[in-house]
Structures are given as C-alpha cells and as structure tokens.
C-alpha cells in the first residue's frame, strides 16, 4: 500500500474505485455492525473512482463535509459523521474532521458511490487518526460505512465473506484474483442521473421483512458464490455471466415482491436488459446485472466492450456510457 500522510497537520488522502457485484449482497444479518446475510462477489471497477481528503484539526465541533465543490447535504454529512464517530471512538479522539470528497461519476444513482466513498474515507481517516489496520480490518471498517464498501478496499475480483462472528471480525472482503487475471469489462449505461428513490438499506430491510422471496434469495447465494468463484478462477465468462444475470434477477425478484414492492428498473433499464439477451442470441457474449438503481451494467470480454458500448448507446433513453475494467484496491494518495 502506498502511504502518504502529513504528520504535522494530520491530513491524509485516499482513493478507491467503485465495484459491481456479480453475486449480489442484499440483506443484513446485523445492522449495528452492517453484517451481510450472505457472501457476495464483485469486480473493483476502474475508472469509477472516489478521492477523499481528511483533515483532523484538533478542534471540537461538527464535522465539515464537502462533496465536489459544495458543502454536502445534511443527511450525507450525518452519515459520514456517524462513521467517523466509530473511528474517533477507536482512536480516542474528540476532534472534528474536515472531509473533502469527489466522485468522477454520478453520486447515489446505483453506481456504488457509497462503496468507493466509504472505502476511500475509511482508508484516509484510519490513517489520519493513526488507527492501525490490516487489509482485512480496513475492509471491515469500510463495511461499517456501507456494506459494499468492504469490497472496494481490495482490487480485482473480490469476495466478501458473510462471516459468523457476532462482532463482524470475520466479515471482510479479499481479492481472489488480481485485476490482470482476466480481461473482462463492465459496460455501464447511464439510464438516469438523479439520486435513487429508495436507499439500499431501506430496500433491504423492507425486502427482508415483507418479501416471500427474500429467504430463497439468501439461501441460494452460498451456492452461486462458490460457482462464481470457480468461474473467475477458470476465466469462464459464460458461467460467470449466467450466474451474474441470475443473481441480479433473483435480487430484483425479491425486492419486487416486497410490500410495497420496490422497482429499481426504469423503462430504459428494461429495454437494455432485453437488448442484452438479443445480442446473446446474435452470438455476442454479453450478460447484464443491475443494482439498487436503474443503470444496466453489461459483463463482457474486454475485446467486445467497444461493440457492446456502441450497441448500448443506441438503446432509447441511455444518456451516457462508461466502460470499466478490473481496477486496483484503495490506496493512500498524495
């Protein structure tokens, strides 16, 4: 890990990439420690990146959070502060923290900005507060901010272990293969840029509490996680793509059957998913996934990414395309 920290002013800066899950996390077994009901598998995605600076000035008072060039909203700042409280408690600090963070992609629209955001914040803040970490404990700290952030600490192909310890000490993410292991791509269509209507936590909890399909989704995940890991090791894109589509559809089936049902797709998403299946019938290796937002994400080999990007751009309603490839884990930056 590349280390850069200004000792005199206790500043640290870190950067982390977003990730997309191919075996989905969707349900908590413990909200206090943000522990998942099942494991998940993801790919860390460059160039979707959050960069965060943290300054500890020794002053008491409220944390100050800048998102991009502007002061962040009250709910965003409160979420960051709740996470910083955990780290302050660990470090025995009472100082406020000034956080400056920016994403190079739309925030809170189902593109995992909370994953890259809390991963970068966990790395910068533990460093500035002098909290000793290992890659595993850093992933577990990031998990406390946002579950999927645990998976943005390691790079490449990543598994987040569900774990069984009540305090979550065995629920961290680790890389099962480095970014260079396999030339795949995720082609992401931007089907809407506004913030999503339902937060992931709200959607997960309502799904757990009211959806008759929630238990089936959780119970089947361990099997698909084991199969997906084999597919990654064997570089078997047909198998991984098939599992990714299944896991995404099973997750969305569970949310749709909650009461009231949660529908993350918009008409553009649905059109894109149908198109991906048509391209497959045409002989192109493309498989979709979709998270707690409307953006369709297409798994393909890196060699097919340009063709897929051109096709996805033609789907009515797609505003933009981002092509991502396996990226490095979180690092401290200058």
By CB under 6 A, name the binding residues for ligand PMV: 21, 24-26, 40, 114-115, 146-148, 200-201, 291-292
CB of 230 to ligand PMV, least distance (A): 19
Q: What is the DSSP string of 197-236?
A: SS-HHHHHHHHHHH-TTHHHHHHHHHHHHHHHHHHHHHT-
Q: What is the CA radius of gyration of the chain?
A: 19
| Residue closer to ligand PMV (CB basis): 103 or 146 | 146
Q: Is the peptide bond before 260 cis (omega within 30 degrees of 0)?
A: yes
Tokens of 92: 């025995």
Specify whether the CB–CB gap between 241 and 299 falls below 8 A: yes
Tokens of 238: 């047909």
CB of 160 to ligand PMV, least distance (A): 8
| Residue closer to ligand PMV (CB basis): 200 or 323 | 200
| Residue closer to ligand PMV (CB basis): 25 or 182 | 25
CB of 284 to ligand PMV, least distance (A): 25
| Residue closer to ligand PMV (CB basis): 137 or 201 | 201
Buried b (16+ CB within 10 A) or exposed e, 229-253: bebbeeebbeebbbbbbbbbbbbbe
Spatial distance between the Cα atoms of 58 and 139, rounded to a whole number of angstroms: 26
Spatial distance between the Cα atoms of 206 and 214, rounded to a whole number of angstroms: 10
Backbone dihedral angles phi then psi of residue 331, each to the nearest 5 degrees: -140, 150
Spatial distance between the Cα atoms of 123 and 130, rounded to a whole number of angstroms: 11
């Amino acid at each position: 890990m590349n280390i850069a920290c200004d000792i005199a002013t206790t500043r640290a800066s870190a950067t982390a990439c977003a990730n997309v899950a191919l075996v989905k996390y969707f349900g908590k077994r413990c909200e206090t420690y943000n522990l998942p009901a099942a494991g998940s598998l993801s790919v860390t995605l460059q160039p979707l990146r959050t960069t965060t600076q943290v300054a500890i000035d020794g002053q008491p008072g409220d944390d100050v959070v800048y998102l991009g060039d502007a002061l962040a909203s009250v709910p965003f700042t409160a979420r960051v502060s709740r996470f910083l409280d955990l780290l302050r408690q660990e470090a025995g600090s009472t100082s406020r923290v000034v956080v400056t963070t920016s994403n190079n992609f739309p925030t809170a629209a189902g593109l995992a900005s909370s994953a890259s955001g809390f991963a970068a914040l966990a790395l910068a803040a533990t460093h500035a507060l002098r909290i000793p970490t290992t890659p595993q404990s850093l992933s577990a700290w990031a998990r406390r901010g946002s579950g999927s952030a645990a998976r943005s600490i390691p790079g490449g192909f990543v598994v987040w272990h569900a774990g069984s310890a009540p305090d979550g000490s065995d629920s961290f993410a680790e890389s099962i293969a480095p970014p260079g292991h396999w030339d795949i791509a995720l082609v992401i269509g931007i089907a809407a840029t506004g913030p999503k209507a339902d937060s992931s936590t709200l959607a997960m909890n309502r799904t757990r509490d009211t959806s008759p399909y929630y238990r089936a989704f959780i119970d089947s995940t361990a099997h698909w996680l084991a199969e997906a890991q084999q597919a990654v090791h064997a570089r078997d894109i047909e198998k991984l793509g098939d599992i990714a589509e299944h896991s995404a559809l099973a997750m969305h089936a569970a949310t749709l059957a909650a009461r009231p049902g949660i529908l993350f797709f918009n008409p553009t998403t649905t059109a894109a998913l149908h198109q991906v299946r048509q391209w497959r019938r045409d002989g192109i290796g493309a498989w979709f996934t979709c998270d707690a937002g409307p953006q369709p994400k297409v798994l393909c080999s890196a060699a097919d990414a340009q063709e897929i990007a051109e096709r996805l751009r033609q789907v009515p309603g797609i505003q933009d395309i981002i092509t991502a490839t396996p990226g490095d884990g979180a690092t401290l930056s200058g």
